[in-house]
Amino acid sequence: MTPEPELGHFGIGGLPHGEPLLGMFMRKERIASVVDTAIDRVDEGRIVLEDGTGLDFAYAMIIPPFLGQEVIARATEIADAKGYVKVRDTYQSEVYDDVYAVGIAAAVEVPWQTAHAVGIPKTGLPTEQQAHVAAKNIVAQIKGEPPQAHKTFGDIPAVCVMDAGNNGVLILADKMLPPRKHGVLIPGPQSHLMKLAFEKYFLWKASHGYVNLP
């Protein structure tokens, strides 16, 4: 079950053919889906949805929506009610030039309205891109120069490898949020292999401190 309005939304507004592709994948794996809903409560062995529907389970994984830190949420002059810092496209806070926030910590406006809160991906490539912008501007600030880099979250390219056992989906789009010029979903087992290769590469890069590598 998901609060997303349809399968294939991915928290980024969906991509062409995303809904039928994910529907086909779910049917192949014999997985039933419930979209555009929320959890009311979790009882012993049963998830109860907001409309009273019960989903029995022997094993369940529930992923709650992201929330910012309470200490940040209390700083109402820089943060929203969820504890995210409201930022400009330089990733400086809207109020203070020397306060930066990226990734999970940064508030992001989305161009859609849904009946339920639909989170957006704030990890991986988007966070790295935001961090690069913030780092360049911190350097400029130290030198007494104006911000050198600008990039809104929605303009960051969408590049994601979604692993699903022995299968998966590669997501490629020119922009993270719509409207976009280009966007494609590429299903297949190659995504699983790519994910394994990337994990090994990333751990190798991090453990050796090769921060300049992509």
Domain CATH code at residue 138: 3.50.50.60
Does residue 164 belong to any structural domain of this protein?
A: no
Residue 135's alpha-carbon distances to 132, 140, 154, in angstroms, are 5, 9, 19
Instruction: Establish if 186 belongs to a structural domain.
Output: no
Tally of CB atoms within 10 A around 2: 17
φ, ψ for residue 99, nearest 5 deg: -115, 120
pLDDT digits (tens, 9 = 90+) for 108-127: 888 888 888 887 887 788 99
Write down the pLDDT at residue 74: 92
Structure-block tokens of residue 211? 């921060």
Residue span of the structural domain in which 121 resides: 65-156
What pLDDT shows up at residue 114? 84
22 vs 6: CA distance, rounded Å: 10
Which residues of the chain fall short of a pLDDT of 50? Answer: none
Does residue 31 lie in a domain region? no
pLDDT of res. 143: 97
Retrieve residue 55's tokens.
């989903």
As beta bridge partners, residue 169 has 162, 187
Residue 69 lies in a domain: yes
CA dihedral 30, 31, 33, 38 (to 10 degrees): 160
Q: Number of structural domains, the chain? A: 1
Which among 61, 39, 62, 36 is positioned nearest to 49, based on CA atoms? 39
Residue type, 148: Q
Residue 197 lies in a domain: no
Q: Which of 68, 71, 70 is nearest to 87 (CA)?
A: 68
Does residue 5 form part of some domain? no
DSSP 3-state assignment of 173?
strand
Report the 10 Å Cβ neighbour count for 105: 19
